[in-house]
Amino acid sequence: MTPHNHAKPGDYAEAVLLPGDPLRAQWIAENFLEGPRLVNSVRNCLGFTGIWKGQRVSVQATGMGQPSLGIYVHELINVYGLKRLIRVGTCGGLNPWVKVRDLILAQGASTDSSIVKDRFGAYQFAPLADWALLRSAADKAKAKAMRFHAGNILSSDIFYHGDWEAAYGKLMAHGVLGVEMEAAVLYTLAARFGVQALAICTMTDCLVTGEEIDAEQRQSSLGDMVELALDVAVEG
Ligand code: HPA
């Protein structure tokens, strides 16, 4: 037990899906897992464990942003012994060839976060996805004929950037595909503690073209992403 998590030892499976939104964690548990059991509800940051394709798997909400995700992920690894962590989220699009509903498999996560920067002093650490999980997700997405891109994303601490073109322009010119708020810290903690991590995002709103997903498409796209992530979680 921790101040943020009242689960008992063994309540979590070794693999977990990490949405930001607690209600999305509940939606995943109730619609995809067999026999889901609530294991954490501190601060309503819900966590569940159930069965997917015969294997135990968990889903734990992280809240929004890197400081919040960092707390849950640090404890999932160090207190509960989790080994495979897969973020399932949404992101804004930073390049016109990424269409709404496309998946982005975050091969790397650039960031403006001091949580990552401050740890490495003069060095710029490159937070990377676990290669085996990335390859597995890409193979499975291809087999399911899902549209996906693998590459660099931006994990920003700022959602409301007044002048996003000035802020993100150089990153966009270097091929950064999308912007979200969690992956870089997830990858940094996974590297620090020697576990596997991957962030998979559905692009829901393109900053460049203004294209946005509608509510119905959002639900079906998120469902496809969740099934992919669950397969990667249990099969590696
Ligand atoms: N910025 C940051 N995070 C996001 C966005 C965005 O535009 N869209 C979805 N998650």
pLDDT digits (tens, 9 = 90+) for 179-210: 999 999 999 999 999 999 999 999 999 999 99
- Residues labelled catalytic: 205
Which residues lie with the beta carbon below 6 Å from any ligand 1 atom?
90-92, 159, 179-181, 204-205
Question: Would the pTM count as exceeding 0.95?
Answer: yes
Point out the ligand 1 atom lying closest to the alpha carbon of residue 205: 8
- 136-153 residue pLDDT tens: 999 999 999 999 999 999
Which pLDDT belongs to residue 217?
Answer: 83
Which pLDDT belongs to residue 215?
Answer: 82
Nearest-CA residue for ligand 1 atom 2 is 180
Nearest-CA residue for ligand 1 atom 6 is 92
User: 217 near 101, Cβ under 8 Å?
Assistant: yes
User: 58 near 17, Cβ under 8 Å?
Assistant: yes
How many C-alpha atoms does 174 have within 13 Å on its Cβ side?
10
